[in-house]
Structure 1
Amino acid sequence: MTDLPIILLAAGASSRMRGTDKLLEIVDGQPLLRRQAARARGVTTGPVLVALPPPPHPRYAALSGLDVKPIPVPDASEGMNASLRQAFAALPPDAPAAMLMLADLPELTERDLNVVAQAVDLTSETLIWRGSTEDDKPGHPIVFTAALFPAFANLTGDGGGREVVAQAGTRVQLVPLPGQHARLDLDTPEDWAAWRAGR
């Protein structure tokens, strides 16, 4: 699916960073948010929707010049499900599926996104295709078929869409990605320091 819409979740408060913004941490010479948005843009001709805190916010400047659509989330403080409600509602009405990814997974590569996108088979019974770690732990990105889109409209709290994944039951296909690419997030200054030391 070369025109798969991609939703990038980037509206969280970064509260565990003690005053700095993890999505604006510099990785490979650019803010992490811009780097991950560019990776999403590189794998699809479809729209890239970025869920963001309400403006004004420095994250908007980090995306300047990129062909992505900011989706302000007025109630972002509620939790991740507020972002999912807003972003899924903003998808093109004819989209047969959409990819969801978190902005704070620094090891997730363009190749990883492509591997998951290429696993999608809309003629199958599968409803979700999901990146996993090398030891089979489910992570991101996640592709949802359009049959599941309505389920996002009523989500509340900070479940991160787990309720929708549960609805799919056994109709979920894990797509192995290298190492811990699918799950490694960096939430604290100590996480960032350890990750940088290991690069």
Structure 2
Amino acid sequence: MKIGTIILAAGDSSRMGGEPKQLLIYKGQSLMRRVTETALALQRGPIVVVLGANREQVVPELAGLPITMVDNSRWSSGQASSLKTGLAGLYLTHKDVDAVLVLHTDQPLVSVGLLVHMLDVWKEEDKGIVACRYDTQLSVPALFSRDYIAQLLQLEGDKGVKWVIGKHRNDCVEVPFEAGAIDLDSKRDVELFAQAQAFV
């Protein structure tokens, strides 16, 4: 079973005051390096990282890793363009993938164990989508069978994976992942996460 992974890392971190959140350090690693190495540890197929706003600063974090980097010049138009750029980069060279795993860089607690569990659930449940549930949403990390690639490629603007998941709830298996709610999107998020980690 061949799984293609797309890591979306093109945003400009506007709520971080211009500091790229991809470069935030958690347990001695940048979030960018951490999520990419987590994906590589799956050893299930090719990995594409979509870069955009802070490309020059982010690229060094990926040095030496066996991945493909693709640039999304339209990153400011919304998540859909980054997803499509990643899918194009993946599918042009790996048309034999069985499914696509979508990851963000700003969820520091995504683990190899979670991703392995998602793959196991996908194999067991015979559904086209596996998505993580936290707070009141179903979102990334999310796994889509190859049947959904065409639909993902048709997304526009701010419509992302959540929109596709919502449209196909009857073909989606939920995996509980409360830690997915920890999303380092602003300086306040980082402060609260640092405080919480101090007591772990």
Give the TM-score normalised by structure 2.
Answer: 0.89
Contact 1:5-1:44 within 8 A present in 2 as well: no
What is the CA RMSD across the aligned residues, in angstroms?
1.9
The residue number in structure 2 matching 1:75 is 74
Aligned residues: 194
Q: Which runs of 5+ in 1 are unaligned?
A: none
Q: Which runs of 4+ in 1 moved over 6 A?
A: none
Does 2:155 correspond to 1:155? Answer: yes
Going from structure 1 to structure 2, the CA distance change for 1:130 and 1:105 (only over 3 Å counts) comes to same
More helix by proportion, 1 or 2? 2
**Within 2, Cα distance between the matches of 1:139 and 1:169?**
12
The residue number in structure 2 matching 1:22 is 21
AA aligned opposite 1:93: K
The residue number in structure 1 matching 2:86 is 87
Question: Per-residue CA shift, 1:122-177, capped at 9, x if unaligned?
Answer: 882x11011223x6742321110111101122221112233322342411100123
The 5-angstrom pairing of residues 1-199 of structure 1 reads: 1=1, 3-53=2-52, 56-91=55-90, 92-121=94-123, 124=126, 126-133=127-134, 137-177=137-177, 180-199=178-197
Contact 1:6-1:99 within 8 A present in 2 as well: yes
How much identity, in percent, do the aligned residues show?
Answer: 27
Give the TM-score normalised by structure 1.
Answer: 0.89
AA aligned opposite 1:172: C
Contact 2:140-2:161 within 8 A present in 1 as well: no
SS of the residue aligned with 1:197?
helix
Going from structure 1 to structure 2, the CA distance change for 1:167 and 1:147 (only over 3 Å counts) comes to farther
Contact 1:54-1:72 within 8 A present in 2 as well: no
